[in-house]
């Protein structure tokens, strides 16, 4: 059968466009990063109520993204939510051990995330440590309930 | 009364026989040894089915992305959430619109042409003459077309999604003034490569197989007259579109519906 180089070139370009498109979808759209998984260290925090926090939610400090939530489970001892977070390794030993964690909401209807605020203690947090000072998520129903019961008084 | 029951039975048997023929037909044409000549036949069909469909996919992808951004913006800005535009455009394109709309366009652009081509070959008895000289028409005519459709629809889907996201960027960022950084970063935060992009690819693989299967089977199985060809071409587009939309619901329920 006669080879047709224009046709082959066309199909080759077509396949190439597909592969490049998939790479674009991977890197630019879904934000994959190849190579070694980034160095992280683990912190956990217990919250009385996590609201709508989900795994993969971001962990930020002063609005800068420094890590993500990897696991959320119920602590069977205290019956509160145990949130495990992976923080970039460059911050290992940089946060004081009285750092507070709060569950915040991005915008009015946005996703919930964990915000960390540094304290003033000379001791530092390391891999596997627990953040003790936490602030639970704002639950709208509870707020309204408080507001209504205050109005009644 | 008895006649009607018999007619119902005849109809059922006809449908079952058609399904059986279509299944046998698929198995016989897909499973054949790859050969150098088969590769060239496949290449020729890739050009016809895939490369020639790029233009329509580019244009419709661009416009669908632009419309999505425009519609999404007017709704989201009411909630003060116009930063979520990138996320909305990307998720709806990658999960739903790119696989489905590309498959519908593909059924109209390539599927109908495949049916008409094979149907005319049958009507002019080219397929029978091939069998006479010992060439299997399933291997020579049908298999390259099936494989070309199966391979090219996912590629067309990727192109559709990329162009659509770019079209959304044009309208959202350049025209309506959504902040450039939040368009991309919201998208990257919410789109998961395996869960969204690869599931969309799985959808388009299934659609590619089903649409080409219906197209070549309708061509191969038609009544070899000019009226039969016109009917089969119509049936290809109708059946393929319905199959794509129905399967899309099933696949979406399996992938994103938390049923499993």
Instruction: Let me know if residue B25 belongs to a domain.
Output: no
Q: Name which of A17, A28, A108 is nearest B159 (Cβ-Cβ).
A: A17
Instruction: Let me know if residue B21 belongs to a domain.
Output: no
| Domains identified in chain B, total number | 1
Which residue bears the tokens 């912190």? Answer: A43
Give the distance from residue B92's alpha carbon to the nearest chain A alpha carbon, in angstroms: 12
Q: What is the token pair recorded at B185?
A: 């970063």
Instruction: Let me know if residue B188 belongs to a domain.
Output: yes
Strand partners, A68: A58, A86
Say how far apart CA B240 and CA B156 lie, in whole Å.
Answer: 17
- A6–chain B Cβ distance below 8 A for any pair: no
3-state secondary structure of A42: strand
Instruction: Let me know if residue B106 belongs to a domain.
Output: yes
CB contact (8 A) between residue A11 and residue B81: no
Interface of A with B in 23-42 (CB under 8 A): 24-26, 28-32
Q: Is this complex scored with an ipTM above 0.90? A: no
**Residue B108 zone, left/alpha/beta (φ > 0; ψ -120 to 50; rest):** alpha
Instruction: Let me know if residue B234 belongs to a domain.
Output: yes
Give the distance from residue A121's alpha carbon to the nearest chain B alpha carbon, in angstroms: 33
- Domain of B49 in residue numbering reads as 32-256
Backbone φ and ψ for A64, nearest 5 degrees, come out as -95, 130
Per-residue model confidence as pLDDT tens for chain B (260 residues): 888 999 999 999 999 998 999 898 888 888 777 777 888 888 889 999 999 999 999 999 999 999 999 999 999 888 877 888 888 999 999 999 999 999 999 999 999 999 999 999 999 999 999 999 988 888 888 899 999 999 999 999 999 999 999 999 999 999 998 888 788 888 887 888 888 899 999 999 999 999 999 999 999 989 989 999 999 999 999 999 999 999 999 999 988 876 54
**In this model, does residue A35 exceed pLDDT 70?**
no
Consecutive H or E run containing A151: helix A140-152
Q: Which sequence spans correspond to the domains of chain A?
A: 1-35, 40-143
């Amino acid at each position: 059968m006669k080879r047709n180089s224009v046709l082959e070139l066309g199909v080759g370009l077509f396949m190439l466009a597909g592969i490049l498109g998939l790479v674009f979808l991977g890197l630019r759209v879904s934000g994959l990063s190849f190579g070694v998984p980034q160095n992280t260290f683990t912190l956990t925090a217990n919250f009385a109520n996590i609201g709508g926090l989900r795994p993969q939610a971001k962990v930020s400090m002063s609005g800068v993204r420094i890590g993500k939530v990897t696991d959320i489970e119920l602590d069977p001892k205290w019956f509160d939510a145990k949130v495990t977070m992976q923080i970039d390794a460059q911050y290992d030993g940089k946060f004081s051990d009285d750092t507070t964690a709060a569950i915040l909401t991005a915008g009015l209807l946005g996703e919930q995330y964990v915000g960390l605020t540094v304290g003033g203690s000379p001791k530092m947090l390391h891999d596997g440590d627990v953040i003790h000072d936490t602030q639970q998520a704002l639950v709208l129903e509870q707020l309204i309930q408080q507001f209504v019961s205050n109005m009644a008084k | 009364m008895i006649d009607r029951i018999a007619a119902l039975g005849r109809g059922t048997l006809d449908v079952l026989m058609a399904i059986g023929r279509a299944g046998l037909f698929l198995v016989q044409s897909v499973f054949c040894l790859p050969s150098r000549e088969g590769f060239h036949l496949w290449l020729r069909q890739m050009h016809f089915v895939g490369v020639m469909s790029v233009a329509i996919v580019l244009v419709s992808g661009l416009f669908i992305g632009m419309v999505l951004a425009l519609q999404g913006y007017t709704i989201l800005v009411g909630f003060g959430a116009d930063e979520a535009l990138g996320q909305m455009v990307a998720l709806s394109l990658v999960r739903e619109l790119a696989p489905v709309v590309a498959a519908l366009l593909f059924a109209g652009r390539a599927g109908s042409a495949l049916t008409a081509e094979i149907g005319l070959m049958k009507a002019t008895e080219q397929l029978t003459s091939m069998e006479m000289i010992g060439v299997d028409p399933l291997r020579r005519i049908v298999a390259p077309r099936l494989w070309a459709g199966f391979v090219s629809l996912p590629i067309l889907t990727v192109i559709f999604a990329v162009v659509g996201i770019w079209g959304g960027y044009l309208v959202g960022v350049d025209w309506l003034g959504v902040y450039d950084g939040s368009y991309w970063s919201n998208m990257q935060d919410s789109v998961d490569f395996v869960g969204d992009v690869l599931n969309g690819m799985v959808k388009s693989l299934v659609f590619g197989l089903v649409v080409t299967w219906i197209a070549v089977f309708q061509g191969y199985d038609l009544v070899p007259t000019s009226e039969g060809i016109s009917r089969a071409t119509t049936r290809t587009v109708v059946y393929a579109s319905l199959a794509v939309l129905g399967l899309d619901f099933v696949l979406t329920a399996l992938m994103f519906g938390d049923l499993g």
